[in-house]
Amino acid sequence: MTTAKVRSQYHHGDLESALISTARKLVKQDGAEHLSLRQVSHEIGVSPSAAYHYFPDRTALLSGLGFSLFEELADFQEKEISKIPGNSARAARERFRALGRTYFQWAKKEPHLFNLMFGDLCTLEKVDQKNHEDARAFNNLTKCLDELYEFDLISEKMRPYGELLAWSVVHGATSLIIGGHLEPENFETTLDAVELALGIKR
């Protein structure tokens, strides 16, 4: 269904995306450390060693999945933000808040996938590609902050810290809440704190 190629390939579909998508399903359920290559292969109906034609490693499949999740998160954020139209100051402020909220919402819905993205497995490898991935979310954040700045909704003193502060605090609160170190109702409070911190007027 999601695959582009014709369904009736003779002894295979397009494996690469099938591997990633069923890996996604299994990681979503049980977490990254419980993902078994053999289980993925079995679920697809293919031999255990078939995957090695597309990924050199189990961890390569996982980090491949991880990178695709950065796209997925950015898609989700952009889709939600596009629901807030208008060129007003109020709309700009709501879009900024939605950017943080969607980050949290997505992670809350898919904690195992979120932990894969920011865990040990996507850490060292393929720095170039990864920077490409999270750059998209970062650019959205910059766009949002620029918009706030145009409407004079963010203090000049704090503007240079905008991206760093907003991303760090949203990511940190999300991560701590998912890990059970903070309660979920604290997230909106944190967003309030960010707005106050950046000098965004109510």
Partner DNA sequence: GATATTATCTGTACAGTGTTCAGATAAGGG
Partner DNA sequence: CCCTTATCTGAACACTGTACAGATAATATC
Under the binding rule (CB under 7 A), the answer on residue 48 touching DNA is: yes
With CB cut-offs between 5 and 8 Å by kind, which of a second copy, DNA, none does residue 196 bind? Answer: a second copy
Q: Which two tokens stand for residue 82?
A: 């596009």
Cα–Cα separations (whole angstroms), residue 106 to 5, 8, 151, 155, 170? 29, 34, 28, 29, 12
Q: Is 158 helix (H, G, I), strand (E, B) or coil?
A: coil
Which one of 3-11, 125-133, 157-165, 181-189 is the stretch in contact with DNA (CB under 7 A)? 3-11
With CB cut-offs between 5 and 8 Å by kind, which of DNA, a second copy, none does residue 178 bind? Answer: a second copy
Half-sphere exposure of 189 (CA within 13 A, CB side): 7
Under the binding rule (CB under 7 A), the answer on residue 144 touching DNA is: no
Chain-centre distance of CA 119, in angstroms?
A: 13
Under the binding rule (CB under 7 A), the answer on residue 157 touching DNA is: no
Q: What's the closest the beta carbon of residue 61 comes to DNA, in angstroms?
A: 8
Under the binding rule (CB under 7 A), the answer on residue 56 touching DNA is: yes
* Residue number with CB closer to a second copy (85 or 160): 160
How many Cβ atoms sit within 10 Å of the Cβ of residue 200? Answer: 20
Residue from 20, 26, 37, 117 that binds DNA (CB under 7 A)?
A: 37
Asked whether the CA dihedral 21, 25, 26, 27 is positive or negative, the reply is positive
Residue 92 and residue 153 in contact, taking contact as beta carbons nearer than 8 Å: yes
Which one of 47-55, 98-106, 111-119, 120-128 is the stretch in contact with DNA (CB under 7 A)? 47-55
Give the footprint of DNA on this chain (CB under 7 A). Answer: 9-13, 15, 35-39, 41, 45-50, 52-54, 56-59
